[in-house]
Homo-oligomer: A and B are copies of this chain.
Amino acid sequence: VTVATHQHGGDAASKAKAQTRLRKIEGQVRGLQKMIAEDRYCPDILIQISSTQQALRAVSKMLMRDHLQHCTTKAVRASDETAAEVYDELIDLMYTYSK
């Protein structure tokens, strides 16, 4: 099992919380479609897109915290090699995929 396919159960509570948020975000995306269909004022739609992006960022933050507490801890304590792998991934997530 490599780091890339390693899984953790995370916190059942935090998983449920992420799902609730994602369902709300799904609703926001449907709301955006409705706003466009209704020909709403563009800046109002753009503000709603921004709000959807903020909501996704909150989910990302929650998952990142889980990732640090579980996978990162395990990898850093296992060996310098697995620590290096997990750090490369973190740097990518922070600087390539952030936002």
- A47 → chain B closest CB, angstroms: 5
Q: A10-B39, A53-B56, A76-B72 are in contact. Are A61 and B22 (CB under 8 A)?
A: no
Please tell me how many copies of the chain the complex holds: 4
Set of chain B residues within 8 Å of A40, measured between Cβ atoms: 7
- Closest-by-CB residue of B relative to A50 is B97
Are A46's CB and B95's CB within 8 A? no
Identify 5 new A-B residue pairs, CB closer than 8 A, beyond the known A4-B41, A8-B39, A9-B39: A25-B29, A41-B71, A42-B64, A42-B71, A43-B67
18 intermolecular pairs with C-beta atoms under 8 Å apart: A5-B41, A7-B41, A8-B42, A15-B36, A19-B33, A22-B33, A22-B36, A25-B29, A26-B33, A46-B93, A49-B59, A50-B98, A56-B56, A60-B95, A68-B87, A69-B84, A72-B76, A98-B98
